[in-house]
Structure 1
Amino acid sequence: MSRPRWASIRAGLEEFWAGPYRRTFARARREEDDLFRMVVLAEALGVPDPAAYYTAELIPALYEDFHAWHRRMGMDRSPLEHVACC
């Protein structure tokens, strides 16, 4: 069999096995990302964080999705004074 044919079979099998769980995987990834974001932003939110020194450099990477995150967490406005996204 040729390579493109094997790739096609592989893609079909992957869709067969993973397709029904795609939503579950996406939800799990989103929950994991939310937990990670909470850990990184814990100090800014007023929760003492023993790893704040190590997570401070990750904060700029999280600003892009900050608005969607705080809306998903049920906060109408940004909980941080220095981040006005709304």
Structure 2
Amino acid sequence: MSSEVEKYDEQYFCSSCRELLAEYKGNGYVLADLRNLDTPTIYPVKAGTKFEVRCYMVSVTETKEKELDITVLGSIPTDG
């Protein structure tokens, strides 16, 4: 993984999205949960992070080759 992070091209994002992404400019990659547009959530995708998005558990590790390995485990809720 390169230590230099590519900057996103702001022309492809609305002003609201730019505000949401501003905090994560230096992280490289993010996962955006836009299910509820009134309260979107941004998760940084970098080595060592773990987060839950609805019924998915996402974990990020770094390989020996310095690449990101992203694991997504999903579950299906069952009623009684």
The TM-score bracket by the shorter chain reads: under 0.3
| Higher Rg | 1
Q: TM-score, normalised by structure 2?
A: 0.22
